[in-house]
A and B are shown apart, each in its own frame.
Chain A
């Protein structure tokens, strides 16, 4: 009755950070010798999961079994001792050390316990590099002098220098040329033939079909699909799992008549080399325009360029018909733009400060005279703005870091509300927001539009764009491939456009 237990079996893994539940009861089974693909959008919980697996994060609840036995991965060393190696996307190599030194970092071959045997290290490194198909890399060279692809090989050699049973690869192909990707796949095939399991993370769906055995899809910290057969599951189903809704969101109603006012935001031929092609768009007061596309389609880059946080290589941005000084956030803010960025903690919030100070930071001139802040007026204004968005708790003096993800997002919106901005740029507004709190955020965004704000929305969740926006621009690889009113589009059609770039379905 008892078959061979899976090599690795994680069940009910939960991990919370202040304000967000990154993992919410995730299960993952990996068999020896298989390539198990882990899919999910940014923020779905992939990195948290692999950090738990690598011993870098401790789960709040849940169990991890290794060859059927329950284990605790207290530290990266503990994970390594079991035979779990992780190759992170940002390679963790020491640039000023040689290839061999990096490969053996922390477990150098020694004589008498402490004298590093440099020659032995180089020889074993050379053997590993040969096995990985890169005999041309000199073990004595400094890692900083190598190309990105070669550095990745070094990283992999380091993983193999341990007695490894499971390798986690976090987007290993992101920095590679096509023929280097072929070599990577050959290595993966060799490893699995030896019985090593590979957990493979990638955004590129075609890769998963080529090398994957099974697929687990994460969304909002939950495994929405576990162990699907990689070959026979249709791509569209996988994408729908990644981008789709897993509960029925209630989207607010759209106004009956589209707004007729002159556009407040006009973007003309805006482009950035290597990121997105010349783009035209207009947003009217009261209108929500959505940009839909997968990771890498240039969504965030477009928003940040409109906002002046990145300098455009061509084109211009006009607010009320007046062009903005390119590359100047201050000019954009003064003209009435406000950005709610994707990475709220890194790009928007002052985590040490109270909600009040986070809300007031862009509008300090409204309650100060000659640089002197009227703190009563500041608190009053912050309270009014946060109440308008029903931010909880209803006390703007609490530290912003204690708020949930949805309420932190409301704090960012309150900032721009208080500033009195005309155009709101929303980059993944519900990223890291609990599923239950999203409907409320959607209602807030719609209400702001109804009150006359122009909203430009970016989201990797197609149902979100379709449900919230009035008009949708579909992006693929930095290019607008389709534009239509949201009510004329459905999820399947957008997914086809996003994947194929041609309207044929």
Chain B
């Protein structure tokens, strides 16, 4: 390993302080500073939305829509965060969402009703994750390549299933989930699912042995192996987890759109990776934050919404997104430098 030129430590090395952050930051902890920064950015965005479009942006229906849209990509991002923390990457999430959503909405599947659709979406998602996981953990393939291959094949298979047609959902119990009658205290059920996935994801990453092993594998795979962790099995589980999240997201998308389409989930992989990164997850692995990822998703979705309300074109949105990614990474390097 190359030793980068680092600031000199106390020569005898007796617990030299890494650096001296200001007192307020010590009290808060770095994670909280990052979360507060992201919340601040979100607040500023809401302010901008409220000022530029006071009527339409702050409308309850619009806010519900923003959260609902964030839910689908948000669930995918939670799974992606785990994979990135382990030092991997999953480029196939968008394609898996597409495949799961069309497989779950074929005429044959719809005959089995609500649970047929839900079950199929999840099984297809987990199945794709299994293929990714086996190729990466046991076939020793680079995650980038294995999931790139999955991206191509899953999209191809989705197109083959639909033949390019939109598969309209006729199962009313599924469609009802997206209706206003199903809202709980004004919150759409999809958003509740997203919230539940977030909470569970946070707990698993921060409070369980599974989460610890994930962090260890991403931080130093060789050290994890020599500490007695089954690195390959852990990697397999992580891609299964990402696939599971894609399956759940596919079901949410079916409810939201009332249909399944092979073009679903387009470029989700990039949005999910971008959200994880602005949320403070290291692309090199070993450190990640579920809450940061989720805030990243909310920031992106809010931007998209504000731009749409202000009739700005998608090209401007894309530029803004790119600028935010760069700004977030630069800010993080200042406030939460790790080394």
Q: Which positions in A face B, CB cutoff 8 Å?
A: 14, 16-21, 24, 57-58, 60, 307, 309, 329-330, 332-334, 339, 341, 345-353, 357, 360-362, 364-365, 368, 371-373, 375, 392-393, 398-399, 401-407, 415, 419, 434, 436
Contact = CB atoms under 8 A, between A and B. Distances in A.
B5 interface: yes
Contacts of B229: 361-362
Interface in B15-41: 15-18
A407 B15 contact: yes
Contact of B13 (A16, A341, A345, A361): A16
A393 B15 contact: yes
A341 B226 CA distance: 9
Contacts of A58: 5
B226 A399 contact: no
A18 B9 contact: yes
Given A362-B229, A364-B213, A401-B18, 10 more contacts: A17-B6, A309-B226, A332-B228, A341-B226, A347-B223, A364-B212, A373-B207, A373-B209, A403-B15, A436-B12
B176 interface: no
Contacts of A346: 1, 220, 222-223
Contacts of B338: 352
Contacts of B17: 402
Contact of A330 (B12, B16, B230): B230
A404 B207 CA distance: 29
A362 B208 contact: no
Contacts of A345: 1
A353 B215 CA distance: 9
Contacts, number: 123
A406 B14 CA distance: 9
Nearest to B18: A402
Contact of B219 (A351, A372, A373): A351
A19 B208 contact: no
* Interface range on chain B (Cβ under 8 Å from partner): 35 or more
The 6 closest A-B pairs by CB, nearest first: A404-B13, A333-B228, A350-B219, A393-B15, A364-B209, A362-B227
Nearest to B222: A347
Contacts of B175: none
B222 A399 contact: no
A434 B226 contact: no
Contact of B16 (A57, A351, A361, A402): A402
B13 A349 contact: no
A405 B210 contact: no
B192 interface: no
A241 to B, nearest CB: 24
B228 A434 contact: no
Nearest to A415: B227
Nearest to A48: B3
Interface of B: 1, 3, 5-6, 8-9, 11-18, 207-210, 212-213, 215-216, 219-220, 222-230, 286-287, 338-339
Contacts of A333: 227-228
A373 B207 CA distance: 6
A347 B226 contact: yes
Nearest to A407: B15
B286 A350 contact: yes
A352 to B, nearest CB: 5
B1 A434 contact: no
Nearest to A332: B228
Nearest to B233: A330
A16 B11 contact: yes
30 contacts: A17-B3, A17-B9, A18-B9, A18-B16, A21-B12, A57-B5, A58-B5, A309-B226, A330-B228, A333-B228, A334-B228, A346-B223, A348-B226, A350-B216, A352-B286, A360-B212, A365-B209, A371-B208, A371-B210, A372-B207, A372-B209, A373-B207, A373-B208, A375-B207, A399-B18, A401-B339, A402-B16, A403-B13, A403-B15, A415-B227
A366 to B, nearest CB: 11
Contacts of A371: 208-210
B212 A373 contact: yes
A278 to B, nearest CB: 24
A362 B228 contact: yes
A15 B13 CA distance: 12
Contact of A329 (B3, B14, B207, B225): B225
Contacts of B226: 307, 309, 329, 339, 341, 347-348
B111 to A, nearest CB: 38
Contacts of A360: 212
A350 B321 CA distance: 33
Most buried by A among B11, B229, B287: B11
A360 B287 CA distance: 17
Contacts of A398: 15
Contacts of A341: 226
A351 B13 CA distance: 15
Contacts of B16: 18, 402
A349 B223 contact: yes
B220 A351 contact: yes
A14 B287 CA distance: 32
Nearest to B208: A371
